[in-house]
Chains A and B, each alone.
Chain A
Amino acid sequence: SAVISQKPSRDICQRGTSLTIQCQVDSQVTMMFWYRQQPGQSLTLIATANQGSEATYESGFVIDKFPISRPNLTFSTLTVSNMSPEDSSIYLCSANKRETTQETQYFGPGTRLLVL
């Protein structure tokens, strides 16, 4: 299985500020994704982090609010900009990895964000 780490694991932020979340995978992966899980809800994809090009955002998510970087095949960052209390969520990084005959998508431990 892939080992995915995220930093920070949790944070409490003031509205109007920005937070950058880091995601590190233990091996090179082609595809990395950023998801949001609001309290008590399921997961929603924010964007696909593309190595060497701009991220691909899902409907309802924009680059100005959630800028993403993917400088190499093992690392990505997600910034939550100009935060409001509605941004309080768990943000999860994930990566596709092929092992033997099967490809699966693994998730990092998540970053728990509370915006006051």
Chain B
Amino acid sequence: GQQVMQIPQYQHVQEGEDFTTYCNSSTTLSNIQWYKQRPGGHPVFLIQLVKSGEVKKQKRLTFQFGEAKKNSSLHITATQTTDVGTYFCAGGTSYGKLTFGQGTILTVHP
């Protein structure tokens, strides 16, 4: 079945440093979604990418979808303590099923 791998599993940064998490799928995706889960909370939808090579920005967050639609990345510029949490990618297929990556746990030290 479809597998979505996400790395790294953990990332510790100093406040102000950049952060990137990567997502790779075993199959071509119809779309990729990104979610953020704060400690003790539930996942919250951030964004969806659909087009090959697509790049979207939300303030300090930059999301990319690979040309082959099998990989994606999330980059945060100048991290803040409010960025702490687990970031999940989720690969979507044409029949609507999402497969989540294992997530990257981000810790930001002030």
Q: Do A and B interact? A: no
A residues at B contact (CB < 8 Å): none
B residues at A contact (CB < 8 Å): none
